Structure formats: C-alpha cells, structure tokens
Chain A
Amino acid sequence: MKRILALVLVLVLALALFGCGGKANEPSKTPGGTDQPGKPAEGGSIKIGLLGCITGEYAQYGIAVHNGAKLYINKVNAEGGVNGKQIEIVEYDDKGDGTEAVNAFTRMVDNDGITALIGSVLSGATIAVVSEAYPIGMPMISASATAAGVTYNEDTDTVFSNVFRVCFIDPFQGEKMAHFAAEVLGAKTAAVIYETGNDYAVGLKDAFVKAAQEIGISVVADEGYSKGDKDFRSQLTNIAAKNPDVIFSPNYYEDDGMIVTQARQVGVTGTFLGGDGWAKVTEYASAADLEGSYYCSAYAPGSTDAVKQFEADYAAAYNGETPNMFAALGYDAAVVLVDALKAAEAKGLTAGTDEYKAAVIEAMKNTSAVGVTSQYSFDEFNNPIKDAVIIKITDGKEVFDRMF
C-alpha cells in the first residue's frame, strides 16, 4: 500500500512539474523560435536576455545587477520603448555556474530568440557563455565580469569582438591604487596582503605590485592567506615589522574588515588601500580602525545629480532599497545596450537577424552613452575607458573623495 502511494505521489509530482514546465515553455517558443528569427520584431518587441546568479552563493551581486538593468529597461519601455518597440526581458538564473549559464544561454537563443544579452555576472560563468556567443555573433555586455579573459583570448591573441563590459578589469584597479598611493599619498613603501587562489585578489595584487615597482614604491612585504582564514596576525606582524606607508588589501569586504581590525591590534599604522570589494567594509570593522583608508570603486553613492536620481528611482522601484555598485553597473550595461539597439533600429533592420546583431555590436563599439556612473567608450579590448572613483572612509562612513 505504502509503495503504491509513494509511486503515485512521485508520479503526480513529476507529471505536474513536467506538465507545467511544458506549458510554460510553449508560449515563449512560438513567437521567438530560431526558425523565424524575424518574428519578435513584427510583434512590436525586441527580446534581450538577462543572465546572472540570482540564487546561490553570489546571489547578492546577481540580484543587484538584474534589478539595475530591469530598472532602466522598464523606464525605457514606459517612455514608449525603442523606435516604438517594447523591450522584452528574458531573465534566467545561472547560479554562478558555467554549465548552467551555457544551458540557459542556449535556451535563450534557441527557444526564446534573443537579440542581445546582458550578462553574466561572475567571470567564470561569463567566459563559458562567451565561448558559445562568440561563434554566433551574439552581442553581449556584462555588468560585472572583471577577468581579463572575458573579452580577450590571450592564447590566440584575439579580442572577442561581440563582448563588452561596463566594469573595470582586475588589473586596472591595482594600477590605479598604486598610482594613487604614489601621487596623492606620497607613499614610498607598500605591503600587500591577499587571498591566494582567488582570481580577483591575485589579479589586483599582481597589477599593484607591478605598477608600484615601475613608479618607485618598494613593496616591502607580500603576504598571502587562504580562503576561510580568520586569523591574519602572523602575516600582519611581518607587515608591522616593515612599517610600510600603505597596505594594499585587495580582498572581499569581510576579510578586509578583519584584516584592518587585527592590523591595528598588532601595530600596523600605515594607510589601508583596497579595491571595489571593500564596499560595505564599514559594517565589518570599527570606524576608528578604518579611519583614513581608501578604496577605489566604480560608483560613488550620492555624488552627482544623476546618481541621486538613480538612487531615488531604485528605492521607489525596490521597496526603498539603496542601490550598490552592482546595481549601478547593471543599469549602465542596460543603458549602453539600449543605446546600441536604438542605432540598429535607426538603420531599419529587423531584430533577431545577423545584420541587426552586427549593427548592435558596431554601435556598442563606438558608443558614447552616458550611464549613471560615467560616460562610456570602449578601448581595443572592449573594456570601458573611465575614471575610478576613490572612496575615503571617514567617521565610519564611505565618502566620495575624488575621481582619479
């Protein structure tokens, strides 16, 4: 009896899931299948994909990027769309996993018939998607994939011409902070402490050390730690013994908070510098310990009128939430893409065709769109050319210091 009941229950559940899945797929399959790529435009809409990790370990980033991008696209749609056509978002979750990202992307292309993609959020997943998107010439813009390999294949020395991003690449931030240390803070000696085995931290650290040596800062201590470490005192004691002017800690905020706190305990007195992973570090260390530290970011809350407007719109759309850097970059990715869609529409092309996609790529390459964090233009590697925002921590607050 129990066995039969179990089988029936499992079958019912499975059938219900498969059944609903099937039904939900059908409507999206009919208008935008690969067989009739011209269809969506005739229906008066342009389909774009939105891919990122909205569940899983890094969901914070993905949700912010998606919210930012949707905020701008909803705004465009409310104002009448692009060339009278509404932009339709096909949103999928990739959990930050390359396999899921590739599957979701292929589904967007085959079943939904997207014209362009905003995504993905994490570098690894984005690189996996790029290897699928490059051969079919799908325009792609990522808000937050910072690894150099996203737009450039160093093995064959080719640039993925269809892939763009609105965030800084990892080495850029390291270089910026080295120059900032020399030119603004007048530092002569520096120390670095970073998470080994973390692509982001190592990328920033390598660029910082290289730039520092070029401009004449001597790097007196180079200390690594492993993921999950909570006690950094042995590394920090080594650093304290060298008494460097600045300490570069290009890690994620939780670690940075602990590092700064413990550094002050073992007598490190230099100025701490960090990358954009420092955002919200003030919640993880005391105001006194953090006082006078600097980090570079792509986004300064409350700095300009455009940013204030963005913050107000974001809060109105998402229950009063305050946008972070990822939300702003998601918004900017949508701005750059929609600007390119306008250019393609102006040429009278049909959404979904190869010519349309080529026109979108062409327009993105030559873009001068103005986003909330900056005006955009792209260099030869499709990376954005824009200034970094330097944030100073004063009285436990992250305050906009200057553009650098």
Chain B
Amino acid sequence: MKKNTVHIPMPIRYLINAAAIAAIYLIISALSSAGVITNYYTKILILICINIILAVSLNLVTGYLGQLPLGHAGFMAVGAYASGIFMRAVSGSMPTGLAVFLSLILAAIVAGIFGFIIGIPALRLKGDYLAIITLGFGEIIRVVLLNIDSVLGFNFTYGAASLKNIPKTTTFTLAFICVVVVCFLIHTMMKSRYGRAILSIRENEIASESCGIRTTYFKTMAFVVSAAFAGVAGSLYAGYLGILNPANFGFMKSIEILVMVVLGGMGSMIGSVVSAAVLSALPEVLRAFADYRMVAYSLLLILVMIFKPSGLMGTYDFSFTNLIGRLIGRISGKRTARKESAE
C-alpha cells in the first residue's frame, strides 16, 4: 500500500482541500437556491455546523490531550451570552457584517478567558477529578447566568426570563465558514510543534515532562483554545435561535457534546465531524417515528458502544489528499506493472 502512495507536495494538498471545500459549499448553496434544500434543511445544516464546532473543539481536549472535561456547555454559554448581549447592544448602529464578525471574535475571547480562569486550577487534576471540577464550573456558569440579574439588580442576562430578541444573523454560509476555519486551525495546530507536545502529554505525561515539555502550559493552551472555539459555536447558536436561556446550557448539553466525541472516536477529527452531523440530524430524521425516536437514538448509541468501543472512527483521521495520492499511486502502479510485464 505505502509503496503505491504518491506523495503530494504541501501547497498542492492545501489547494486540493480548499477546492474540495469550495465544491461542497457551492453544491449546497446551489441546491438551496434551486429550492431542493428548503429553509428547514438549511436550519438543520446550521445546527450540524454548530455541533461540529462543539465536537471538534471538545475533541481537542478529550481526544488529543486525553483529559475528560464535562463543562463544555458552560463555555458555549459564555460565548453565546457575550455575543448575544453585544449584538443586542450594537444592532442598528453598526453594519451587520462587521457586528457579526466582532461578535464571533468577542465570543471566542471571552470564552477563552473563562477557559483560562477555569483551566489553571482544574488542570492540576486528572481523570475523574478533572471531570467533576469542570462539571462544577460548568454548573457555576449556568447558575451565575441565571441569577446574576437579581443579585446585581439590573438587566444583563435576563436570567430565567431569557435573553430575547437577539438579531438572527447566523446563515449557513457563516456557519460553514466557521466550521472550515475552526477545523483548519485545529488541524494545523495538531500538525505543529504545539500539537505534538499535546499528543505527547496524552501518551505519557511524565515522559513528556522529562523531555522538557512544559505540560501545564500546553494543557492550559489546549483547554483555552477548546473553550474559545466553543464560544464561537455559542455565538453562532445565539444568532441562530435568537433567544438564550441558561437552562439550554446545562449538564446534559455537555454530555451531549461528549457523546458526539466519544461516538466518533476520541482523537479523530473526521469522527467528531461525522458523529456530530449524524447525531444532530438523527432526531429530525426520526421525527416521523414520533414516540419511538428517542428509543432509536439511544439504541444506536448503545450498539455502537458495544460493538465499536473506540468509536466509529477510532483514532483514524481521514485525509482527502492521501486518498487521492493513493488512488493516483495505484493507477500509475498498475501502469508501470503493465509496462514491466509488456517488456
């Protein structure tokens, strides 16, 4: 196999991938302008995009860093509220495009700061203890959002009454761009020195520390990046739904995201993408079954975990250009083989 793979140089790899992404986008937007993809399907596609960002960003900590945080919904909530409050404040006084761009950046920064504040103490712990402390922080964020108004005595998050009338700015194009950017950034980060350091911590923390890797620094960095991207997803969610309630960002939401990552395979980006897409679409696809849809959903999860405990993709990561390289290699391999036999 390896022998037949043609190595494609890096710049061309990026070009091929960019072309493939552009092709996917053009196909979807052509279908939606032709009316094949209705408003309903666009809504589900946006939801899939949001969940992909959440799953891929959690995968950074769960899959690559090998830690188990349970507070991802908290960072999503911080990003969503930051962006929602910002959009409400500036709506009308700023061009929408600029406001949306700034709200995404703001959501990422605020969520990243929260990730930093929480990551510093939390990442001193490992395994179950980290899970519990992040779970606690996630709940703290939710409860603060719920009660901060009545404590401080002014309207900020509107607590249980929900933050309403957020401009609905999230389009499929915006969500798609965000997915591409987030996946690209995480991918390149993992291929860089930083990513290798993160992987080494997962494999063996003591060994990597003895090799001079600053484990605390890299762990915190991965955690902050993951939180910031969750904030981006939250910002998209705010612009998608137009109303935010702290109850939407409870413990179950964190579990939902974790399920996507584990089902897809921890440490596999394509796994996170596929399972986020499948798990977000499934409840809608199963709508025709009415009462049985939640049973079918749970059954699917149980079956996958029984028969494929490492997740759908394991740690396998799909590379489009490697696939092309292999195909070209096989074709040209056949050709040379034929030439050889002719001679």
Chain B hits for A2, CB < 8 A: 307
Among A24, A98, A196, the residue within 8 A (CB) of B241 is A98
Chain A hits for B306, CB < 8 A: 6
Chain B hits for A109, CB < 8 A: 39-40
Chain A hits for B290, CB < 8 A: 91, 93
A9 and B242 in contact, given A17-B286, A127-B164 (Cβ under 8 angstroms): no
- A180 CB–B CB distance under 8 Å: no
A107 and B287 in contact, given A128-B243, A153-B165 (Cβ under 8 angstroms): yes
Give chain B interface residues in 15-52, CB to chain A under 8 Å: 35, 38-41, 43-44, 47
- A198 CB–B CB distance under 8 Å: yes
Q: Is the CB of B307 within 8 A of A131?
A: no
- B331 CB–A CB distance under 8 Å: no
Chain A hits for B248, CB < 8 A: 97-99
Chain B hits for A17, CB < 8 A: 282, 285-286, 289, 296, 300
User: Measured between C-beta atoms, what is the minimum distance from A207 to chain B in Å?
Assistant: 13
- B88 CB–A CB distance under 8 Å: yes
Chain B hits for A147, CB < 8 A: 161-162
Q: In the complex, which of the residues B38, B47, B159, B291 has the most CB atoms of chain A within 10 Å of its own CB atom?
A: B38
Among B43, B291, B300, the residue within 8 A (CB) of A102 is B43
User: Measured between C-beta atoms, what is the minimum distance from B106 to chain A in Å?
Assistant: 20
Give chain A interface residues in 130-176, CB to chain B under 8 Å: 131, 147, 149, 153, 155-156
- B303 CB–A CB distance under 8 Å: yes
Closest to A57 in B: B247
Give per-residue flags for B130-172: 1 if the beta carbon is below 8 A from chain A beta carbons, else 0: 0000000000000000110010000000011110110010000
CA distance A100 to B161 in the complex (A): 19
Chain B hits for A100, CB < 8 A: 283
Q: Is the CB of B40 within 8 A of A128?
A: no
- A370 CB–B CB distance under 8 Å: no
Give chain A interface residues in 1-24, CB to chain B under 8 Å: 2-3, 5-7, 9-10, 13-14, 17-18, 20-21, 24
Q: Is the CB of B160 within 8 A of A199?
A: yes
CA distance A9 to B305 in the complex (A): 12
Give per-residue flags for B63-98: 1 if the beta carbon is below 8 A from chain A beta carbons, else 0: 000000000000000000000000010000000000
A13 and B241 in contact, given A5-B307, A103-B40 (Cβ under 8 angstroms): no
Chain A hits for B146, CB < 8 A: 197
User: Measured between C-beta atoms, what is the minimum distance from B115 to chain A in Å?
Assistant: 24
Among B39, B88, B245, the residue within 8 A (CB) of A98 is B245
Q: Is the CB of B44 within 8 A of A103?
A: yes
Give chain A interface residues in 72-122, CB to chain B under 8 Å: 91-93, 97-100, 102-104, 106-107, 109-111
Q: Is the CB of B288 within 8 A of A149?
A: no
Q: Is the CB of B300 within 8 A of A131?
A: no
Q: Is the CB of B284 within 8 A of A103?
A: yes
Q: Is the CB of A107 within 8 A of B40?
A: yes
Closest to A148 in B: B161
- B181 CB–A CB distance under 8 Å: no
Among A21, A99, A111, A202, the residue within 8 A (CB) of B160 is A202
- A396 CB–B CB distance under 8 Å: no
Closest to A25 in B: B288
Give per-residue flags for A20-38: 1 if the beta carbon is below 8 A from chain B beta carbons, else 0: 1100110000000011000
- B308 CB–A CB distance under 8 Å: yes
Chain B hits for A198, CB < 8 A: 160
Chain B hits for A104, CB < 8 A: 287
- A371 CB–B CB distance under 8 Å: no
Q: Is the CB of B243 within 8 A of A98?
A: yes
- B174 CB–A CB distance under 8 Å: no
CA distance A99 to B236 in the complex (A): 13
- B185 CB–A CB distance under 8 Å: no
Chain A hits for B168, CB < 8 A: 131
- B327 CB–A CB distance under 8 Å: no
Q: Is the CB of B307 within 8 A of A18?
A: no
Q: Is the CB of A111 within 8 A of B165?
A: no
Q: Is the CB of B88 within 8 A of A155?
A: yes
CA distance A34 to B41 in the complex (A): 13
Closest to B300 in A: A13
CA distance A46 to B303 in the complex (A): 42
Give chain A interface residues in 276-327, CB to chain B under 8 Å: none
Q: Is the CB of B43 within 8 A of A10?
A: no
Q: Is the CB of B288 within 8 A of A124?
A: no
Q: Is the CB of A197 within 8 A of B159?
A: yes
A196 and B147 in contact, given A97-B248, A107-B284, A149-B161 (Cβ under 8 angstroms): yes
CA distance A149 to B165 in the complex (A): 10
- A60 CB–B CB distance under 8 Å: no
CA distance A21 to B296 in the complex (A): 12
- A368 CB–B CB distance under 8 Å: no
CA distance A2 to B310 in the complex (A): 14
Closest to B159 in A: A197
CA distance A112 to B294 in the complex (A): 22
Q: Is the CB of B38 within 8 A of A103?
A: no
Chain A hits for B304, CB < 8 A: 6, 10
A103 and B43 in contact, given A3-B308, A10-B307, A13-B300 (Cβ under 8 angstroms): yes
User: Measured between C-beta atoms, what is the minimum distance from A395 to chain B in Å?
Assistant: 36
Q: In the complex, which of the residues B39, B40, B285, B303 has the most CB atoms of chain A within 10 Å of its own CB atom?
A: B40
**Can you report 23 A-B residue pairs in the complex whose CB atoms are below 8 A from each other?**
A6-B308, A7-B308, A13-B299, A14-B300, A17-B286, A21-B289, A35-B35, A55-B294, A91-B290, A97-B248, A98-B243, A98-B248, A99-B248, A106-B40, A106-B43, A109-B39, A110-B38, A124-B243, A128-B241, A131-B168, A131-B243, A197-B150, A202-B150
- Nearest first, the 8 A-B pairs at minimum CB distance are A6-B307, A24-B288, A110-B40, A110-B38, A199-B160, A106-B40, A21-B285, A131-B242
List residues of chain B with CB under 8 Å of any chain A CB.
Answer: 35, 38-41, 43-44, 47, 88, 146-147, 150, 159-162, 164-165, 168, 240-243, 245, 247-248, 278, 282-291, 294, 296, 299-300, 303-304, 306-308
List residues of chain A with CB under 8 Å of any chain B CB.
Answer: 2-3, 5-7, 9-10, 13-14, 17-18, 20-21, 24-25, 34-35, 55, 91-93, 97-100, 102-104, 106-107, 109-111, 124, 127-128, 131, 147, 149, 153, 155-156, 196-199, 202-203
Besides A55-B291, A197-B147, 15 other A-B contacts (C-beta < 8 A):
A7-B307, A7-B308, A17-B300, A18-B285, A91-B290, A99-B47, A100-B283, A102-B43, A102-B241, A103-B43, A103-B47, A106-B43, A107-B287, A111-B38, A155-B165
